[in-house]
Amino acid sequence: MPTEVRLTRRVQFHETDAAGIVHFSCFFRYMEEAEHALWRSVGLSIAPGNGIGWPRVAAAFEYHSPLRFEEEFDVIIRIDAITSRTIRYTCTITRGETSIATGTLKIVCVSKRDGEPFRAMEIPADITSRLSSS
């Protein structure tokens, strides 16, 4: 599997709720941002426009400590498993040594054609080989 990807971010005001704490939904955006960085790190884009899509079929987070406006934090994502049709990630969000949240995301490769429903398909070999290389 590729080495993990780490992004460093700073909490923006619009990401916080009335209590000044990052809204739970933002963590999913952070994970997705890191996922895209992981794909870019191996020379790929998750949106190649070649008739393939990557819908999310499962996503979860457990929250351990709050993040507040202007705090700096790291988002770390890695691939846990690649099957013939799916990719599963784990994500860790930290502030220094403090664990903020841990999450998982599972995506499936689908054929995406105009006027047709999505159909699960085999992940193309080029994508699997790039995401599986270290």
- Catalytic residues, by residue number, are 17
Q: Which helix (H) or strand (E) holds 126?
A: helix 125-132
Distance CA 8, CA 34 (A): 10
Task: Collect all residues with Cβ–Cβ distance below 8 Å to 79 and sequence separation of at least 6.
Answer: 1, 2, 38, 87, 88, 89, 131
Place of tokens 């996503």: 59
- Specify the pairing of strand 72-82 against strand 86-95: antiparallel
Task: Collect all residues with Cβ–Cβ distance below 8 Å to 37 and sequence separation of at least 6.
Answer: 5, 7, 77
